[in-house]
Amino acid sequence: MSFARLSVKAIANAINAGASAVEVAQATLDGVAEYDLIQPQVWTLRLPVEAVLAQARAVEARVVAGEDLPLAGVPFAVKDNIDVGGLPTTAACPAFAYTPDRSATVVERLVAAGAVLIGKTNLDQFATGLVGARSPYGAPRCVFNQAFVSGGSSSGSAVAVAAGLVAFSLGTDTAGSGRVPAAFNHLVGLKPSKGRWSTRGLVPACRSLDCISVFAADLSGAALVDDVLAAFDPEDDYSRRAPAIPPALSMNGLRFAVPLPDQRIFFGDGESEALYTAAIKRLETAGGTRVEVDIAPLLDAAKLLYSGPWVAERTAAVEPLLRATPSAIEPTVRAIVQGGLATTGVETFRGLYALEGYRRAAEAIWNVADILFLPTTPTIYRLKDLKAEPLALNANLGLYTNFVNLLDLSALAVPAGFRGSGTGFGVTLVGPAFADRALLDLAAYLETFPMADTPPLDLTPHKPGVKLAVVGAHLGGMPLHWQLTSREARLVTATKTAPAYKLYAIANSTPPKPALVHVGDGGSSILVEVYELDVEAFGGFTAEVPAPLAIGTVTLEDGTSVKGFVAEPRALDGATDITHLGGWRAYIASLRV
């Protein structure tokens, strides 16, 4: 399969003209299945095949009935911190998961416009990160070079579009999560002005700053999605009504601001610096006038996001889980959100006062320029390097993105070339609030300039590991889960065993552990989590399993078999039968009552 990128506009036009939405959906499903052999960590959940095809058939019926659907039959994906009714929302934290009855407003609008949902995508847990590597579901990689990070937090959403699996996807953007992955994977990333798209049904990162965003292969695709989603939502407390006359911009006399020379920071990445210089020259050739400005107020404002009281806003979103089961949260994310617990009201107000000062200083930029024209990121990192310095390198990636929502600005990330490694470089057009459509129009001028050919996708197959079902102390959030995370285990699914097991609480076990026993007829289905480890890591894990437990084979409810915990007969001496509770989490919860 070619994994060619999909056009939102072309698909919608074809299906409205009579093409088969079912054929498009089936081709999409085939591509998703094939790319699973390369990056299975793109998804947290996919809809069953029949559910996807049923959506497509419904779209065809609507078109035949005379509806002109703006997104007819267009396959899309949703970041897994955005609600889809009837499907679990995990925010990449299984212990946090809940199943909403209703979809987020943006999902409702997209489906009403004819779009076909394929599934939910991976992310940096709780949308905390710009790297895409902070998830129990694994780390999506740059589609052009899998040694490098995909960018985050909207990692799976970006990869799904960049690999041609879907035509567009929803991400979110608090500090750059809808722009950084766009740059690395050569996509358009539209971060709308705060409140311009509804955030009802979004798990908040920083609720006062959050935006839902879109990834698309081209500007026309992003614009079509914006047409559907830009509307006031009375059900969203943070929704805003657009001004009657939004900011207008034109290439005729356009003044675009770039940082002072000593503020153009690339952390030694000369290729990124050269690509940015080339992008500046392209905008000048299109008719724009370069203006150098002092961006120090922007950079100072950006520091408030992770060094100021806005960390406490992230903490507020996950506080119940953080206090009850801190080990359920990915270690780097936990280190960040725990910092918010100590933030005082006084510190919060001081931060608010400081932000207003930076906002006033930043307003001076609009006296001399119409837009800011910035690198989306200064550089990119290999996954192995990021693991050595997860906080510092993540912060580097947000240098030119973190301030945008704090200062209530609009932003559009667009491709601007490739490094020698094949990884994408991007630039971002930043404007005042509600300048979104004007930015889309301006960016079209950049599309007319030729750039280096897009490199082929890195289709190195995923090396299958050993699937392991865990049932007790190794579940996410439980005391021994670290034995999996330390070995980079990837969560494959949360499911149940076949109805052939009993579950017991072993007597006098520290920490408390269960015994899963196969009994055949008369047994029950028990909740488990299935992880994948590479063969070497699995061997090391198995060596640490203490008697009376052992690793054997467990049959899942779908009939497949994986490795899993089993118990010697002596494990049942004095044990308590807890099968009726259905799983270990319910048993632990019962002890707290």
What is the CB neighbour count within 10 angstroms for residue 475?
25
What's 89's DSSP letter? B
Residue 362 and residue 430 in contact, taking contact as beta carbons nearer than 8 Å: no
The closest of 278, 276, 271 to 421, measured between CA atoms, is: 271
Cα–Cα distance for residue pair 431/408, rounded to 1 Å:
9
Cβ–Cβ contacts within 10 Å for residue 482, how many?
12
Give bridge partners of residue 467 from the DSSP assignment: 532
Query: Which helix (H) or strand (E) covers residue 55, if one does?
Result: helix 49-64
b/e 374-396 (16+ beta carbons within 10 angstroms → b): bbbbbbbbbbeebeeebeebbbb
Kindly list the catalytic residues.
79, 153, 177
Q: How many C-beta atoms surround the C-beta of residue 347 within 10 A?
A: 13
542's enclosing H/E stretch is helix 535-543
Lay out the sheet containing 527-533: strands in order across: 490-496, 527-533, 466-470, 561-567, 549-555
Quote helix, strand, coil % in the chain, to nearest 5.
Answer: 40, 20, 40
- 515 vs 5: CA distance, rounded Å: 48
Q: What count of other Cβ atoms lies within 10 Å of the Cβ of residue 568?
A: 12
Tell me the CA distances in angstroms from 389 to 386, 394, 424, one per residue in order. 5, 8, 22
20-24-29-35 Cα dihedral, nearest 10 degrees = 160
d(CA 64, CA 15): 10
* Residue that has been written with the tokens 């007790």 in this structure: 472
Instruction: Look at residues 174, 164, 115, 131 and name the one whose alpha carbon lies nearest to residue 305.
Output: 174
DSSP 317-377: HHHHHHHH-GGGS-HHHHHHHHGGGG--HHHHHHHHHHHHHHHHHHHTHHHH-SEEEEES-
Side chain identity, residue 341: L
Distances in Å between the Cα of 427 and the Cα atoms of 76, 268, 346, 413 are 24, 18, 37, 6
As a whole number of angstroms, the distance between CA 185 and CA 278 comes to: 19
Angstrom distance (rounded) from CA 151 to CA 388: 16
Q: How far apart are CA 394 and CA 409, in angstroms?
A: 22
